[in-house]
Amino acid sequence: MRKNLTGILLIATLVLQGCGSGLFSVHRPDVQQGNALDEDRIAQLETGMNPEQVRFLLGDPVLRDPFQGERRWEYVYYLKPGDGRPERRRLTVYFDDANRVARFEDTGLKK
* pLDDT bracket for residue 15 (50, 70, 90): low
Phi, psi dihedral angles at 22 (to 5 degrees): -100, -145
* pLDDT bracket for residue 19 (50, 70, 90): low
Tally of residues, the chain: 111
Read off the pTM.
Answer: 0.67
The fold of the 28-106 domain, in CATH, is Beta-lactamase Inhibitory Protein; Chain:B, domain 1 (3.30.1450)
Phi, psi dihedral angles at 52 (to 5 degrees): -65, -40
In the prediction, which pLDDT does 24 show? 60
In the prediction, which pLDDT does 111 show? 54
Q: Are 75 and 56 in contact (CB under 8 A)?
A: no
In the prediction, which pLDDT does 68 show? 67
Q: Which of 63, 66, 88 has the alpha carbon at shortest distance from 74?
A: 63
Please give the Cα distance from 25 to 84 (Å, whole number). 15
Residue 14 has pLDDT above 70, yes or no: no
Segments making up each domain of the chain, as ranges: 28-106
Which tens digits make up the pLDDT trace of 26-84?
778 888 888 888 889 999 999 999 999 999 999 999 887 777 667 899 999 898 888 88
